[in-house]
Copies of this chain bind each other. A is one copy, B any other.
Amino acid sequence: MKVGVLTGGGDCPGLNAVIRAVVRKGEQEYGCGFVGFKDGWRGAVEGRTVPLDIPAVRGILPRGGTILGSSRTNPFKTENGVRDIKENLAKYEVDALIAIGGEDTLGVAARLHAEYGIPCVGVPKTIDNDLSATDYTFGFDTAVGIATEAIDRLHTTAESHMRVLVVEVMGRHAGWIALHSGLAGGANVILIPEQRFDVDQVCAWVTSRFKASYAPIVVVAEGAMPKDGDMVLKDGTKDSFGHVRLSGVGEWLAKEIEARTGKEARTTVLGHIQRGGTPSAFDRWLATRFGLHAIDAVHDRDFGKMVALKGTDIVRVPIADATAKLKTVDPALYKEVGVFFG
């Protein structure tokens, strides 16, 4: 059996761990051969490949990024994209395709399987943790760990000076990274895209925090939005949900807090460091098990499925289940965590 593998979308620690597990088990247990498609769906469309066997995956477990490269190419939006993929799968004699990616990449895999009968297995990937049908995705734990360590460091400044510290973390449509890192880091305010925030409420928490102990730390997801009246839009543009998004919400919020409370505020924008570097042990474990189970699904010819985490088990679900609906933060959970605000 010859298996194609590709990784799509944004960088995410654990991609290499998946690839390694797929190849290691596939070659060793099932006698599979492999073709790596370069830069996600683009490589499948353009027929660009990289050799993939056990020697090629040695030593990649702890490395961030992906040895296959990635892109955001969507074959359904590329002229003759699907036709070219089919031709390339035939040319390289690929019997099955493992697509590792997020909403977009998996959405393509689901359609290729459903509409064109291409034998696909999906592996969910997003540092944002916003895919349905799986408890967690790999990369998320690493991102939360990096953000938490940054927040930890800010506490000493907050203790020694009287400054509000605003940390902007990733999360355009879902606040998981903000919620987990904010709780783990002992932040005093956590703002997520799922709930528009009230700047006056934020300022009230900031003020009460100064009275109770020392300077507050505010964690804000990049996609968090103030209530309409609070905001003078400067460079907001409509996002894919039709919302006007605020660019640089962290910087904007710091200025608002300074203006409304009279306290100095400073911003940290973690940016891409949240999605780079070596994966955490949790993510390596999860990514490796996803890889082992993905090649099992291929071996079982159980196509159109995606591997997913349920408790401590890896299960298979229809790919379409993962992409049907964004997994956002439940209001009840946000309320649970809110006991630490202020």
Q: Which A positions have Cβ atoms within 8 angstroms of B?
A: 10-11, 13, 15, 24-25, 28-29, 58-59, 61-66, 69-70, 135-136, 141, 144-150, 152-157, 159-161, 163, 165, 180-181, 183-186, 213, 266-273, 275-278, 280-282, 284-285, 288-289, 292, 310-312, 336, 339-340
Residue of B nearest to A336 (CB): B292
B183 and A285 contact, CB distance less than 8 A: yes
The one of B62, B282, B336 that contacts A186, using a Cβ cutoff of 8 Å:
B62
Taking a contact as CB atoms closer than 8 A, the residue among B28, B141, B157 that contacts A275 in the complex is B157
Chain B residues with CB under 8 A of A160? 11, 15, 65-66, 69-70
A150 surroundings in chain B (CB, below 8 A): 273
* A15 and B157 alpha carbons, distance in the complex (Å): 12
11 interchain pairs (CB within 8 A)? A24-B339, A59-B155, A64-B155, A70-B161, A144-B282, A147-B281, A153-B276, A183-B285, A267-B269, A268-B269, A268-B271
Contacting pair A156 B64 (CB below 8 A): yes
Question: Do B186 and A154 touch across chains, with their CB atoms under 8 A apart?
Answer: no
- Give the shortest distance, in Å, between A38 (CB) and chain B (any CB): 11
Which residue on chain B has the smallest CB distance to residue A68?
B160
Secondary structure call for the A interface: helix
Per a CB cutoff under 8 Å, which of B29, B63, B311 touches A311? B311
The answer to whether A141 and B282 touch across the interface, beta carbons within 8 angstroms, is: yes
- A312 neighbours in B (Cβ, 8 Å): 135-136
The 5 lowest CB-CB distance pairs between A and B, nearest first, are: A64-B156, A153-B277, A65-B156, A153-B276, A268-B271
CB neighbours (8 Å) of A146 from chain B are: 153
Chain B residue at smallest Cβ distance from A275: B157
Q: Are B157 and A276 in contact, with the CB atoms below 8 A?
A: yes
Q: Which residues of B contact A186 (CB under 8 A)?
A: 59, 61-62
A268→B339 CA distance, assembly (Å): 31
Q: Which residues of chain B come closer than 8 Å to A149, judged between CB atoms?
A: 277
Partner of A281, one of B148, B157, B289: B148
